[in-house]
Structure 1
Amino acid sequence: MGERLVAVVGYPGAELLDISCVTSTLHVATRLGAAPGYRVVLLTPGGRPITCDSGLSVAGHGSLQRWTTPVDTVVVSGGLGHVAAAGDPLIVTHVRRLAALSGRVASVCTGATVLAAAGLLDGRRVTTHWNFADQLARDYAAVHVDPAPIYVRDGNVYTSAGVTSALDLTLALVEEDHGPELARRVARALVTYLQRPGNQAQMSMFTAAPQHRHHAVRAAADLVSARLDADLSVGALAGHAGVSPRQLTRLFVEHTGRTPGRYVRRVRAEAAAHLLASTDLTVAAIARRCGLGTAESLRTAFTAEYGVAPSRYRLGCRRAP
């Protein structure tokens, strides 16, 4: 049945994880029975070894500028060298040429900068690492940058967020090529507990602390994380934090970008997502545990945050037996 040829583009200062998440995922998919399987080549300027931004060197399989064989997918890696790569006419020209030989074009993290420099993202909705999203939007006005999702598909162009989101993107490509069953088996083999949907936010409410750690915001947020099934109304949170409800609302908007109510709903939805993916609890039981009360309330809050119903989310995340 042949094979799916995937070209990963690397350059000096590329992020090693941006490369290896793609190559390892496709290797595992092939080993687990993808038909046709994947053959991955790493293309570098001149075919020379590249030094990644971690200091490790990686040998290329071929020369970016001399590659003429059509490929199924081209994936441009990100890394701290992305600005220099986007400013290198050789890299940009041959990425553009290689894209014309490809059925799909993708980038990991700041690799979107290289695609943008090649004019491949004009008029498209894309994402990149949240820390570089504003810069990408400023430098390339014709590109519609959405810093929130883990990955975005716009036509045959795929862009993903930072570093390990390459795993989510590649699993999505495997699912597109071979169906959800193989994608779940690959995710299981890679010991990733959850294949996240592309519209899941890059920054988790459990890991993204408010930028300005005001004591009242911190106290309220800590209560939310510890007691999802408690009374988390604005009044209850304000009483716990020792401020008025009006002051707490102002502080939350200032330090988190959300009202207390929206913050609570987001955290409860994230907790529900974790339970849907990792347990066999009923939707009603998860709703009670996360403080959302009823299955219908959970469906409403979950769909508002993730764009899919809880049952559909669980189906997409369930591991293969």
Structure 2
Amino acid sequence: MRRPQPAHDVLVLAFDGVRLLDVAAPLEVFHTAARTTGAYRVRVCTPDGRDVTTSTGLRIAADVSAADVGRTDTLVVPGPADLRLLDERPALVELVARLAPGAGRVASVCTGAFALAAAGLLRGRRATTHWEYADDLARAHPDVTVTPDAIYVQDGPVLTSAGVTAGIDVCLALVEEDHGPDEARRVARDLVVFLQRPGGQSQFSAASRTATTRHPVLRPLLDAIAADPAADHSLRALAARAGLSGRHVSRLFVQQVGSTPAAHVELLRVEAARILLERGVSVTDAAHRSGLGSDETLRRAFARHLGTTPSAYAARFRTARGEPDVARGVGA
């Protein structure tokens, strides 16, 4: 008779000023998985074993003091609502640096990446954080390769994730790594979230990432591309629509949007294809209806923008045994 395996030990660090959802999201994912599998033991760890007060004012009770923690399988480091807190309390960074070597893997949520970086855990690694602080992370820690637009990034045993609810995504990825996609799907359905946004998926839609402009020539062109990405948006067509030379249109795009017309059109088409795949459209149909044309063109575009393949992306949004997709409702 096989002996039962011990539960995977998950330690979620909490401290005064921590962002509430950064703590709550990992707790919900792992507790939901534990309810049916018994596969996780989830504990809240605080620096001194006392209750802490989150940034919302809600108090969180401690299960264990950091001083009493030995080895753990997964350490989750949430972020503070105010980044200055890490500078004001260097003991927090020292605590992360002490706990991490005893963990099999370490994951941060949102600005928790700054604690990991300050503790030396991201040196030479790729990482992400909340979009608003990605540039700050890159400047403060030039030894870290910051991927500013990703939902989460895994580099070896260290994972970092984007703003707040991306903590759900990274923890679902850990559940899938431990127990396979079916269990991760079950947890996602229970929480009524997508299983699961691939790590390379953007924190934002293409439209929200486009620089706002009221330029009387460029604004109608941008609106037309967003309204129908599959239409003819070649440089020649855009120039004819604007009544300008192709060179002039290209210059306007670079000045106002920060990219060439072709790059912007491709970005919108990738997003259109992504949405189609999430809705269950085939890869071939998604390529055609988004304007990217062929499966191969779509594959190359996905590799450039999302770091995955269309088939792998689509698989993330299929539930087991053909059950209905879970509802949308979580953003970065």
Taking structure 1 as the reference length, what is the TM-score of the superposition?
0.90
Question: Secondary structure of the equivalent of 1:106?
Answer: strand
Change (3 A) 1:136 1:29: same
Change (3 A) 1:62 1:189: closer
Change (3 A) 1:294 1:93: closer
Aligned to 1:81: 82
Change (3 A) 1:217 1:48: farther
Shift of 1:205: 0.3
Shift of 1:212: 4.4
Contact 1:3 1:39 survives alignment (8 Å): yes
Question: Secondary structure of the equivalent of 2:209?
Answer: coil
Q: Which letter does structure 2 place at the counterpart of 1:40?
A: V
For 1:39 and 1:16, how far apart are their aligned partners in 2? 20
Q: Kindly indicate whether residue 173 of structure 2 is the aligned counterpart of residue 172 of structure 1.
A: yes
Taking structure 2 as the reference length, what is the TM-score of the superposition?
0.87
Q: Kindly indicate whether residue 27 of structure 2 is the aligned counterpart of residue 27 of structure 1.
A: no
Aligned to 2:311: 311
Matches within 5 A, 1:41-80: 41-53=43-55, 55-62=56-63, 64-80=65-81
Aligned to 2:326: none
Shift of 1:86: 4.6
Shift of 1:257: 2.5
Q: Which residue, out of 22, 37, 43, partners 1:18? A: 22
Aligned to 1:40: 42
Aligned to 1:282: 282
Matches within 5 A, 1:241-252: 241=242, 243-252=244-253
* Unmatched tracts of structure 1, length 5 or more: none
Cα displacement string for residues 241-284 of structure 1 (whole angstroms, at most 9, x for unaligned residues): 555432332232233332111111111112211211222x2222
Structural RMSD (CA):
2.2
Aligned to 1:144: 145
Identity of aligned residues (%): 46
Change (3 A) 1:276 1:43: same
* Unmatched tracts of structure 2, length 5 or more: 324-332
Contact 2:172 2:195 survives alignment (8 Å): no
For 1:9 and 1:29, how far apart are their aligned partners in 2? 19
For 2:67 and 2:217, how far apart are their aligned partners in 1? 59
Cα displacement string for residues 156-203 of structure 1 (whole angstroms, at most 9, x for unaligned residues): 111111111111111111111111121122222222235111112223
Q: Which letter does structure 1 place at the counterpart of 2:30?
A: L
Shift of 1:239: 4.0
Change (3 A) 1:237 1:52: farther
Task: Decide which moves more: 204-213 or 159-168.
Answer: 204-213
Aligned to 2:328: none
